Amino acid sequence: MALDKIIAPAEDYALGQNLQTTPGTALRTGEQFKRSLDDGRKVWVNGERLERVSDNPGLAAGIDLMAGMFDDQFSAAHRDETTYVDPQSGLRSSLAWQIPRTREDLAERRKMIEYTSRKTVGTFGRPPDLAPTIAVGLYAYLPMFRSYRSTLDGCTPDFAENVERYVEFGRRTNLTAAESLTGPQNDRSSGYAAAASLLRVTSITKNGVYISGAKSVGSVAAQANEVFFSNLAYPGTPPEACVWGAVPAASDGIRMISREMVSHPGADPFDHPIAHLGEEADQLIVFDNVFVPRDRIFNLGDPEPIGFYGHICAWAHWHVLTRLAVKAEIFVGCGELVLDVLGTGRIPAVQAMLGELIEYAQTLRAFIIAAEAKATPTQGEVMQPDVCILTTGRLYSIQHYPRIIHVLQEMCGQGLVMRFGKRAFENPEIAERLAELLPGHGVSGAVKEQLMNFIWDLTSSSLAGRVALFENVNSSPAPRLRERLFREYDRHDLADLVRDLSGMPRKTA
């Protein structure tokens, strides 16, 4: 079914959202994006209900940063790395919603991942272009979704048509979304499926279902238009918990309880070059009898597609690995500047430290290039990066990330401990002494301090601590990734090769 025959985004499908785009495009400006968040959503920070999501400085600064990404779509400097002309509609659209059909398409789409990673200095695990990769992953397996039917009586969504509809809706509205897979951390002694917090269908109508439960680590949910929800199937998971869909963040029955803010909005950019930009906040998303229309349901009652979720997330994992590679390259840039401003570039031990940063960055980049080079089309004719290479790359990244942070901190020495803010350098009583005592190699003490403050925010601040924890949770713990490699890596040809080389007989069927 051709996408343009399914939907030209209708008011009922947008469910009252203000998703106005700029005439002649499928793009929104930063101001249009910010207006779309003023929708009455229910958000709590530090136990207090916000009148508007932008009332919290940390959330507001993060929203402003994201709004800048929307505005950049219209700038000559960033247009080619953030947008493309959709061949179906002829409209300039966000690359976030591009469906890659070739390896060249993947390389083009990667430009946007690299752009959003640089824009946020790698601190947003869920920039606006991440959630669309989940929708594209569903679209990549449309033939599979055409074979599935709801196992819960009373509601019979067409999963494949709904996926097509949602992808087109997202592309034509420049939609942002938050995606949360995991449930809240609580007592699992009686099994995950028995947890009272497990998101599940509570009642069914012919027009849709009502769901209750909760999702955790809903990163950027308070700052996005929609919530994409899903569950993984564990032993004993009941059919009513096998549910995927998407609803507006302001839907009746959704409450978002945010964690403590860890950024420094309003701080002088000299003191906190990264943390003053705000953050993507993580929310506990509580669903209390939330209605999900039939045409927004992508799975209902069937555990089989849930078992395929790892492949559906391949493009999201490619996004994660690319973002980590960009951040690794920023680490290298930091290391080079440390050598420059401290004059330590001739010390072999320091050279080796920078070499370790380069090794990490180059290895992650190699994983990305290899995953794209070995990409293959899915049953839905979408080009998919190699899953096993992506899994191996993510495993390598999280294993080495703490070490790389430590190396960069060590290169800075006391510079990260003895930091002084802009006001200290401007105070006439002490400024002269600071200028005399703290100069770098060819730079003033204040300029050297700018670098140390940047590296502090990137490696040592409360924001950096949250990001480091997120990277591990987001990539999945190392043992789980190794289990994926065991399940998914085809070892049989290699075993036959060793049998042949060693003279062992091959197994017979």
- DSSP for 421-484 reads -HHHHH-TTTHHHHHHH---SSS-HHHHHHHHHHHHHHHTSHHHHHHHHHHHHHH--HHHHHHH
Task: Looking at the structure, give the CATH architecture of the domain made up of residues 3-306.
Answer: Beta Barrel (2.40)
Q: Which CATH class is domain 313-496?
A: mainly alpha
- Averaged pLDDT in 10-residue chunks for the chain of 509 residues: 42 77 95 96 97 97 98 97 93 96 97 98 95 96 90 91 95 93 80 77 95 93 95 79 94 97 96 96 96 95 82 95 98 98 96 98 98 97 97 95 97 95 95 95 96 97 93 80 90 93 88
Instruction: Render pLDDT for 211-227 as a digit per residue (tens, 0 to 9).
Output: 999 998 889 999 999 99
Find, among 316, 283, 290, the residue nearest to 216 by Cα.
Answer: 283
Pull the structure tokens for residue 376. 């293959």
Instruction: Render pLDDT for 139-191 as a digit per residue (tens, 0 to 9).
Output: 999 999 998 888 889 999 999 999 999 999 999 999 999 998 888 888 877 76
Measured at the alpha carbon of residue 270, what is the angle toward residues 265 and 275, in degrees to the nearest 5? 35
Report pLDDT for 188: 72
Q: How many residues are given for the chain?
A: 509
Find, among 303, 308, 425, 442, the residue nearest to 378 by Cα.
Answer: 308
Asked whether the domain spanning 313-496 has the same topology as the one spanning 3-306, the reply is no
Report pLDDT for 151: 85
Report pLDDT for 44: 98
Pull the structure tokens for residue 227. 């919530």
Report pLDDT for 192: 63
Pull the structure tokens for residue 334. 């930091």
Find, among 307, 323, 306, the residue nearest to 315 by Cα.
Answer: 323
Distance CA 58, CA 177 (A): 19
Report pLDDT for 263: 96
Distance CA 363, CA 371 (A): 12
Ranges of each domain in the chain: 3-306, 313-496
A 10 A CB-CB count for 405 gives 18
Q: Which residues of 344-378 are buried (b: 16+ CB within 10 A; e: fewer)?
A: beeeeebeebbebbbebbeebbebbebbbeebeeb
- Give the 3-state secondary structure of residue 46: coil
The strand ranges marked E within 250-308 are: 254-258, 283-293, 297-300
Q: HSE, CB side, 13 Å, CA atoms: give it for residue 431.
A: 7
Pull the structure tokens for residue 47. 């136990």
Is 134 in contact with 75 (CB distance < 8 Å)? no
Distance CA 107, CA 98 (A): 12
Find, among 19, 119, 122, 114, the residue nearest to 69 by Cα.
Answer: 119
Report pLDDT for 217: 86
Distance CA 15, CA 351 (A): 57
Is 482 in contact with 394 (CB distance < 8 Å)? no
Measured at the alpha carbon of residue 94, what is the angle toward residues 90 and 95, in degrees to the nearest 5? 100
Report pLDDT for 8: 43
Pull the structure tokens for residue 130. 């991440």
Block residue for tokens 């430009």: 111
